[in-house]
Amino acid sequence: MSNVKYPKKLSLATTPTPLTPLKRLQSKYGGPLIWLKRDDLTGNLLSGNKVRKLEFILAKALADGVTAIITCGGVQSNHCRATAFAAAQLGLRCHLLLRGDQPQGAYSGNVFLDQLAGASLSFHSPLAFRQVDELFANQKALLESEGHNVLCIPVGGSDGMGVWGYINAVDELNNQVRHQKINVKSVVCASGSGGTQAGLVLGAKLHKSPFTIFGINICDDAAWFENKITQDIRDWAKGFANGNCTQGVFGDSPDSIVSLSDIQMIDGYVGEGYAKASDALMNTISEVARLEGVVFDPVYSGKAFNGLLNEIAKERFNNETDLIFIHTGGLFGLFPYAERF
């Protein structure tokens, strides 16, 4: 048990999610036994890591009397899909700002589901998306003119409130590690907008976990994530002081909870860019599906898992018997890649 005082949280996710070992994969490839934290099973339409953030973000939104939400992401954003369904479940109006071209013909994957959930969608070029604050502001003004009280949620739900989702998840993980009696030194996740890793890093400190958090970036580079995760932690710290702790949340002083050295990135697996997938990555996805009955997506979880297998092959984790990989979901994002298999 931990004595961290959490803010209000909705119950949207199916938790705790299982922690399951990939034994056949280990027999074939050696290295430490990988345990999957099955956050792909947090729900069906709400599945993946974003719902854990939304439980906190939307609890505050409801308390604040919000009636409409706007968020943004790629056309196949899992975060947008989870937000659209959470909004539908809560009776909120939802608009999604999507980066990329409007798909030709019938929509598939996440964007199909966004539409089904009744979210309104707008598509914007990567160039227009550089002024995403302006896109948010315009849409907000429009919804306000219809009488709505609007909340804008940043990309990936990664902000000071969303970070609570994975602080909470570490509580869950600690209990599972203790219960399974496994010796885990490393927990690895895919990092896209940084909020999951920020929460895990904070959670590991606050709940005194025995493990280190590693993020495998699926876009940008290590420096970008160090900066982004630092920002998310600072944003979180502003709301944390109340009733929890008042000093040294982030910094290099000995009494600070986290420092820059706690943000550990494994860089080198972005490939040709965000959502660009190599044949080797597709092979890993097929292999894991057949060997273990688990499906990863090429944009996030699969790209990071492929990176993890490469690191294991390079003997990075040779001194460890067990490690944990957070399966952050992404199943619906796989379908637009069907032709590649």
Ligand X SMILES: *Cc1c(COP(=O)(O)O)cnc(C)c1O
Residues in the site for ligand X, rule: CB under 6 A?
48-50, 78-79, 156, 158, 190-197, 297, 300-301, 328-330
Nearer to ligand X, 239 or 248 (CB): 239
CB of 318 to ligand X, least distance (A): 26
77 as an active site residue: the answer is yes
CB of 104 to ligand X, least distance (A): 24
CB of 299 to ligand X, least distance (A): 7
Nearer to ligand X, 93 or 327 (CB): 327
3-state secondary structure the chain: CCCCCCCCCCCCCCCCCCEEECHHHHHHHCCCEEEEEEHHHCCCCCCCCHHHHHHHHHHHHHHCCCCEEEEEEECCCHHHHHHHHHHHHHCCEEEEEEECCCCCCCCCHHHHHHHHCCCEEEEECHHHHCCHHHHHHHHHHHHHHCCCCEEEECHHHCCCCCCHHHHHHHHHHHHHHHHHCCCEEEEEEEECCCHHHHHHHHHHHHCCCCCEEEEEECCCCHHHHHHHHHHHHHHHHHHHCCCCCCCCCECCCCCCCECHHHCEEECCCCCCCCCCCCHHHHHHHHHHHHHHCCCCCCCCHHHHHHHHHHHHHCCCCCCCCEEEEEECCCHHHCHHHHHHC
Nearer to ligand X, 43 or 329 (CB): 329
Nearer to ligand X, 50 or 124 (CB): 50
Candidates 2, 47, 77, 186; catalytic one: 77
Where in the sequence numbering do the catalytic residues fall?
Answer: 77
